Structure formats: structure tokens, C-alpha cells
Structure 1
Amino acid sequence: MPRELAESLYRDGRLREQQPAGTYARKVLEQLLIDLSWSSSHLEGNRFSLLATEELFRRGTAGDDADAVMLLNHKAAIEFMVDGVPMQGLSASIVRNLHAVLMSDLLADTEALGAIRTKMVNISDTVYIPTQIPALLEDMLEMILNKARLIKNPIEGAFFLWVNLAYLQPFEDGNKRTSRLAANIPLMLYNCSPLSFLDVSPRDYALAMLGVYEFLDVSRAVDLFEWTYRRSMKKYIVVMESVGAPDPLRLKYREYLTEAVGLVVRDRRSAQTVIEELGLSDERAPGFEAMLLDELKKLAVFNCARYRLTMTATQAWIDADRPH
């Protein structure tokens, strides 16, 4: 990617004020979950519409529908990144776990989840055949990640990861979707607008990848990346503006609220008991009880990650009629 373009995109896409890594992604998380999950799945031929995806996330159950599983896996993988990347950065364990979450229940062999492949992989509609030696694949994956960590501009880092992970094909299946989500890791670390591949058509995406696979030509990929990233930036600027200034009371009680919600949902403790045990009565923490009860009322499987809850635990609590 041309350096001038990367610098321009970084200037336009970054969060202006100094914030902890991952802040941008957390602020737009609910919209990002839908956008990136649907766009990435759509590029894999998923038949769900955007509206059907939103309904699926509200419902939170897939049954035996593989397309629904694909979407819910994307959602869980994005939540995993938002929680894990700020603490662990860009690492092989993050990328391999990302693959494991994305392909959960979609690969016949569960040992292949997050594992460097030992089988030959064929990519449709191209004569390109990726490297087939497992030890070499593992070394090259580490090399790609090491190089990406040295790239100072997160836009360049995102593009580098997207193209090179897709080219390497380190996993048995799900490589392109892993590369799309992994491209967001540098963006999260530097608080840049996420990349959700909004409105990218499967044909345009395939042509961009074909140039990389067969000719080592990234020109189409650069054009596609710039186009879709600028669309992502515009979308999330609007989302950020709609969020408004953070509530000072919510910021004050942030960690207490996470702990309290977790105790109610995971441990099935009553809200009143939790408030007393944490010493957060209205006398000592004005407004906390009302905030906790309101959050418990709004809690759903599509927004539970912010409280470090799994979708399974949250759904079980909801199915039990939200005991609190």
C-alpha cells in the first residue's frame, strides 16, 4: 500500500483523543458486530439478509442452520477480539483462537480449530496452490505476525495482515474470514475506525484476491481496501457521534457494574445481595442500584460481551426468566 495513502487513511480514521487500546471498537461494538459479521459472511455466500442477521443476534440461537452458525461465530470472534486484543496485542495465539471461534461447529475435525493445517487446501477459481508443509506454514505465520507488529502505521498493518494471511492459507478452512477479522487487530490497538468490508461484492473481492494469489499484484486489493475502509470510517463516525459524551456516573461505576452483572447472571445471585456484598447501597453509591437494574433489563446475547459474559451463560439466564 502506498505510504501516502496509508497516512491519509490513518489521519482520517483514528480517534482524536488519547484512549486505551480498543476504545473505538468498544464504542461502536453493537453496530460493528452486525456490519462485520454480515459483510464477512456474505462474502462466503451466506444467505442471511442484514435484517435477518440482526434478528438472529437478538434471538441468539442457530439450531442446525450452518449459515446462522457462521454469523454467530463471527459475532463471538469479534467479541473475543475486542476483549483479548487490548490485553494481548497481535499474537499467534490471538489469530489461532480467532480461527477456532470462527470455525467452531463448521469443521468436521475439531482438532483443526486454530491448528496449522496438515492437509492440502484448494482455493476455488484460481490456479494458485498455497504452501503445503505444516512446519513452513507455522514459521511463515510467525514471520507475518512479527512483520505486522513492526509496522508503525496501523492502516498498513491491517492491509498487510489481510493480504498475507489470505495468501498463506495457514488453516484447513476459514482463512479468508480469519484474515478479514485479523485485519482489525492493528486498527483496534491504535484506536482507528474498524474495517467492516461494507458493501463489498463477492465478485470484486474475488478479483482482488485473484490478483494477489496468481500475480502477487496488490493493486486491486489496495483499491478495494481504500474504498471499503473509507465507507467504514463514514459509518462509524456517525455511530460515534450518536453515542455522545460518556455518562460520568457510568464511568465511575464501570468496573463495579461489570462485576455485579457477572455475579447476577453467572452465579444467579440476587441484585440486592450483590449490592450489599459490594458495599454499593444508595447511601454509599448513589444511582448504582438503578443503573444495575436497568442494565439487567437490557442485557441480551448480542451485547453481553461488554460484561465479560458468554452468550451461553447469558442465554441461560434469559431462559430462566432473568432472575435478579
Structure 2
Amino acid sequence: MPRDSYTHAMLGVYELKRTEMLRDLFIWAYQRSAARYAAVRQSLGEPDPFRLRHRTALRDIVSEVIRERMNKRQASAHIAAWSQTHMDPEDREQFRAVAESELLGLHEGNFARYRVRPSEFDAWHEMWNQ
């Protein structure tokens, strides 16, 4: 919200005991925020039902790969073996692909969702990129 508009609206309340300007400014800001939210929500699309259904398993397997400092080959073998014993047969291949995709997309801005410390991520990232 423009600083000048806010300042004038607050002065109107405190000096003139008039709330109309502050009310109008609040309504304008609320409508603008709602429009932005709608645009962002639309750009994100619908959540992936497979990822939602397996979010805990994905988080656990990715964090395990990071904490164990697995390289790409080790991670792929580990995910495949884990999927064989923990996933329904019809979900195994997709789970493997999604988990590997998550690992490939990890960076300093998103690793915290897997509940690993920065030092764990840094050590893993160094091994992963060798």
C-alpha cells in the first residue's frame, strides 16, 4: 500500500476522528490482495494426488538419501529397493521417478522441507555433484 495514502488515512483518524479514508484504503488493499492471491493460486494449479498420498514417504526417503550422503547411483538403487518393499506394485515406478525428481530439484532454497540441517544438505550436495 502506498505509504502516503496510509499516512494521510491515519492522520485523518487521529486528527479529525474520521475513518472514511482508512476504511477505503483498507478495502482497496484487501481487494488487491485477494486478486493477487487468486492469480497465484491459479498459476500453481491443482496439487498432484500421487505426491499428496505419498508425501510422508517421499519426505522420509529424500531426507534419508541426504543424511546418508548418497551419490546419484546409490540413491537410485536405494529408492528402487525401498520401493520394492514399501510401495504397492502399481505405485513403485512412479514413486521412484518422483523421488528421483525431488532429489534432482533440491537446492538451498527448498531443502528445509525435508527436515535436514544446512550442514547435512551441504555435505550431501558436495557428494551428489561429484
- What SS does the aligned partner of 1:301 have? coil
Structure 2: unaligned runs, 5 residues or longer: none
Against the structure 1 CA distance between its residues 245 and 211, is the aligned structure 2 distance closer, same or farther, given a 3 Å change threshold? same
Query: 1:273 aligns to what?
Result: 78
Against the structure 1 CA distance between its residues 257 and 206, is the aligned structure 2 distance closer, same or farther, given a 3 Å change threshold? farther
Select which of 109, 114, 127 maps to 1:307.
Answer: 114
Runs of 4+ in 1 over 6 A off after TM superposition: none
Equivalent-residue separation in structure 1 for 2:6 and 2:119 (angstroms): 36
Q: RMSD of aligned C-alpha atoms?
A: 3.7
More helix by share: 2
Structure 1 residue 289 corresponds to structure 2 residue 90: no
Report the number of matched residues: 122
Query: 2:38 aligns to what?
Result: 237
Shift of 1:203: 2.8
Equivalent-residue separation in structure 2 for 1:264 and 1:211 (angstroms): 59
Map residues 74-85 of structure 1 onto 2, 5 A cutoff: none
TM-score calculated relative to the size of structure 1: 0.30
Against the structure 1 CA distance between its residues 228 and 288, is the aligned structure 2 distance closer, same or farther, given a 3 Å change threshold? same
Shift of 1:298: 1.5
Equivalent-residue separation in structure 2 for 1:242 and 1:203 (angstroms): 32
Shift of 1:294: 0.8
Partner AA of 1:201 in structure 2: P
Select which of 116, 122, 129 maps to 1:316.
Answer: 122
Say which one has the larger Rg. 2
Partner AA of 1:227 in structure 2: W
Partner AA of 1:238 in structure 2: A
Equivalent-residue separation in structure 2 for 1:282 and 1:229 (angstroms): 46
Against the structure 1 CA distance between its residues 244 and 273, is the aligned structure 2 distance closer, same or farther, given a 3 Å change threshold? same
- What SS does the aligned partner of 1:287 have? helix
- 8 A Cα contact 1:275 1:289, kept in partner: yes
Partner AA of 1:223 in structure 2: D
Shift of 1:231: 1.5
Relative contact order higher in (CA < 8 Å, ≥ 6 apart): 2
Map residues 130-141 of structure 1 onto 2, 5 A cutoff: none
Query: 2:57 aligns to what?
Result: 256
Query: 2:2 aligns to what?
Result: 201
Report the identity percentage: 33
Map residues 175-186 of structure 1 onto 2, 5 A cutoff: none
TM-score calculated relative to the size of structure 2: 0.63
Equivalent-residue separation in structure 1 for 2:122 and 2:18 (angstroms): 46
